[in-house]
Structure 1
Amino acid sequence: MVSVSRLEGDHAFVKQSASQEHSKGNEVPPEGFEIPVYVMCHYLENSGALDVFLCKADDEQSLLDTLILAQWEEHAFRGLLNYDVTSCETKIVDGGKRLTAQLNMEWNPNFLKEFEKRIFKLPGGIIKPSYMKNNLEDILCCVTTGEIEKSMVACLAAVPLEGILIVSNANPVEYGHIFLVPYSIQLRTQFIGRTLHLMANIAHEVNSFSLRMFYDYFSATNADQKIYFQACYFANPLPVELLPTLPIYDSSIVDGLSIWELADYYLKALVFTSKDLKHLAAVVGEICFELQKRNAVFNLLITDYGTKMFLFPQVHLPATGRHLHAWECGGYFIYSNNAEFERASESEISRRLASASLDVKGFGALKQLCCNIASKLC
């Protein structure tokens, strides 16, 4: 268990008080429960560029990384995960793309629907009043920002007015698999810009090259889209990260933002890079907002300490079809039985990826939309 210290100061926290308007959502732990709260320094929140805080050495684990993994490993040690994902067999599929297959006969493909049903209530994807009371053992910590000069951990029987709940995933795809759930009303209503920026900040604060963050937007016709991210640790880069790219937009002289398209991949995708996390999140967030307004299906993958974001648009599949998860878009597939795992091939996976890809005309329109938004926000 990671050691923590109590944080003193003038930070705004929500406590169990019926007189507090925000508490009426019951999005607080029961009285007497101490939840680790990681408070990121305000430099990270208020400054976009990474020059103000250099990455730690590769062999130095960050405090947030230590906290999340210590909590997750204790959770696993207590037998609260459905299986040991580190014992699952993986292999590189023959072919030039180095696509990855995992054999996991216990993985539940419906785990996202079950998680949403357990944690959210309708309408609007608001957390159920009873969730934190009945599922405290699943909550590893929460992350927020504060007016402090150095990030630190507090153990408090309260949660911040706005932040991200870090919740364990009992059906992990890889080591350290977690959900990152915004519980603030403000974060939910301003998800596209505010929350994406906070996720990028968390990725940078974790400071682990192995960390990958994911977001799936499947409910294109559902007004009650549940808003949460996922993250886990991969020993190696995802296959999509190793592919060549072609530039389509570059404003590096102004703000360091560049947009690329993946070259020679079965699923058409765009890559956004910038050392200015705030601007990067603003541009990608505005693009995602436009896609949501157009009832599009898409995924996000955040890598490189929050400085790189992959956007995977998908076509609408029939009602009986299943859209790809973000890690599948990245070239990482799970097989539930040994026969399918042994038969996994690049041609079989390529067909699955290509079936979800936009056509040339649709992808061209998306590229133009992205360049227009980037130019508008530069």
Structure 2
Amino acid sequence: MPVISPLPFSLLPAPAAPAASRARWNSFPHHRLLRAGMCSNGFDSTNCLRMEEVEPNLSPFLHKLFKEWDDCKARGLFHHNITTCETKVLPGEHNFVATLIEGRDQKKRPTEFGMNQVLQPFHSDKFNFTKVKPEEVIFRFQETENDSAQYFDGAPPTVSASPSSILINVSPIGYCHVLLIPQIQECLPQRVDRESFLLAMYVAREAKNPFFRVGYNSLGAFATINHLHFQAYYLKVQYPVEKAPTEKLTVVGNGVSISQLVRYPVSGFAFEGGASLEDLSQVVSDACIFLQENNRPFNVLISESGKRLFLLLQCYAEKQASGKASQEFLDMRINPAVWELSGHLVLKRRKDYDEASAATLCGFLVEASLSEAEFQELKKCVLEFLASASPEK
């Protein structure tokens, strides 16, 4: 199996920008916030979320990404201005984060496939990322013969000319919301493989910032495009899932620790440790492969710059299809993808945002998640599979 080289620590200089754009790059946007109690660390929620005027100690990768994303924003490439959207942290045990983006679901591209199958073939006639506008490409990268990665500024003549690309998400839910498309010209369907997952891990590591997370949604777990992609964005607050208590289950692979979430409304696993990032990546990607081959929808959050990962399990699309979803939650039009299951929920109606409470959002996440009996059965299967796949010590 080929090894994907880590992303470089230095990037090629971006093309010179107009003076107005360069001035914008010197300060990062602020969310417009409503006071909503205290974060778990005791700071006011507005301070938890607001980016500093100049973020110190950014990695070269993240510094470049912020600059390029800001330039796309200045050129009006997004469907809405996320920096003016209201965001608040709700009081309560979990401190859920709520963002109001009115009508976002009506501006997004419609889902063009069924939600009942996690693995589906790629169809070139449906929307895929080779069809995006060239100006939506922030940069691209690839392996080289000397096992180092290279960045190329700007967009290629055609998107499909690039092995892997980072694109803007034109319907962002957070600052610097981007899409990572591994081997874009291969037109891979939305399914995890070891190499692509490791690439996403390298991106998280290269950011060197705990507030820049990478996420993955399987088909059936609210991925909306069947072309292999990961998402990432920056939000300067601790996600509820990241501070949820865990209970250790076992150690597999080369020292990778697996725990389960406890006292959190979504069922799932936390992975950390291992002798290397590659060890951790392999265990989690193998768990994802097992789930998708057994038609079980899932979401993954890559947290703490790739040091900790959450594998979250859900069945909300199935409940929607079978008529078992609560009408109250259907009316809220929340799609529980990785960010929502992690505790950052995007609301589309002013009423839902103004009346948002920890109890309501917790109830929604419980409905989206597996029952305790379903989780225990699936947990047993996942752990048995990973134990059998673990190399002998």
Change (3 A) 1:200 1:113: farther
Contact conserved, 2:68 with 2:138, CA < 8 A, in 1? Answer: yes
- Per the alignment, residue 45 of structure 1 pairs with none
Offset of 1:338 from its aligned partner?
Answer: 2.3
- Per the alignment, residue 141 of structure 1 pairs with 139
Q: What pairs up with 1:91-240 in 2 under 5 angstroms?
A: 91-108=88-105, 111=108, 113=110, 123-124=121-122, 132=130, 135-148=133-146, 153-155=151-153, 163-182=163-182, 183-185=184-186, 191-219=192-220, 225-240=226-241
Inter-partner Cα distance in structure 1 for 2:335 and 2:191: 25
Q: Does 1:84 align with 2:81?
A: yes
Unpaired runs of 5+ in structure 2? 1-9, 15-54, 114-119, 326-333
Unpaired runs of 5+ in structure 1? 7-57, 117-121
Change (3 A) 1:188 1:197: farther
Change (3 A) 1:126 1:65: farther
Inter-partner Cα distance in structure 1 for 2:134 and 2:90: 40
Change (3 A) 1:123 1:187: closer
Flag the structure with higher strand content.
1
Q: Report the residue type matching 1:144 in the other structure.
A: Q
Change (3 A) 1:190 1:148: farther
- Which 4+ runs in 1 deviate beyond 4 A? 125-134, 147-152, 155-162, 186-190, 320-323
Q: Does 1:343 align with 2:340?
A: no
- Per the alignment, residue 52 of structure 1 pairs with none
Secondary structure class of the residue paired with 1:339: helix
- Per the alignment, residue 334 of structure 1 pairs with 346
- Per the alignment, residue 377 of structure 1 pairs with 390
125-134 or 58-67, which moves further after superposition? 125-134
Q: Report the residue type matching 1:311 in the other structure.
A: L
Inter-partner Cα distance in structure 1 for 2:272 and 2:128: 40
Q: Report the residue type matching 2:320 in the other structure.
A: P
TM-score of the two chains, using structure 1 as the length reference: 0.74
Change (3 A) 1:308 1:160: farther
Contact conserved, 2:129 with 2:227, CA < 8 A, in 1? Answer: no
Inter-partner Cα distance in structure 2 for 1:185 and 1:113: 23
267-276 or 165-174, which moves further after superposition? 267-276
Q: Does 1:357 align with 2:369?
A: yes
107-116 or 224-233, which moves further after superposition? 107-116
Secondary structure class of the residue paired with 1:317: helix
Deviations 1:75-112 (A, max 9, x none): 00111112221222211222111111112225236625
Aligned length: 318
- Per the alignment, residue 298 of structure 1 pairs with 298
Deviations 1:149-181 (A, max 9, x none): 876534485889874211111111000001112
343-352 or 211-220, which moves further after superposition? 211-220
After superposition, the CA RMSD in angstroms is: 3.4
Offset of 1:114 from its aligned partner?
Answer: 6.4
Inter-partner Cα distance in structure 2 for 1:196 and 1:212: 14
- Of the two structures, which has the highest relative contact order with CA contacts closer than 8 Å and spacing of 6 or more? 1
Inter-partner Cα distance in structure 2 for 1:150 and 1:279: 20
Contact conserved, 1:108 with 1:171, CA < 8 A, in 2? Answer: no
333-342 or 300-309, which moves further after superposition? 333-342
Contact conserved, 2:188 with 2:227, CA < 8 A, in 1? Answer: no
Identity %: 24
Offset of 1:323 from its aligned partner?
Answer: 5.1
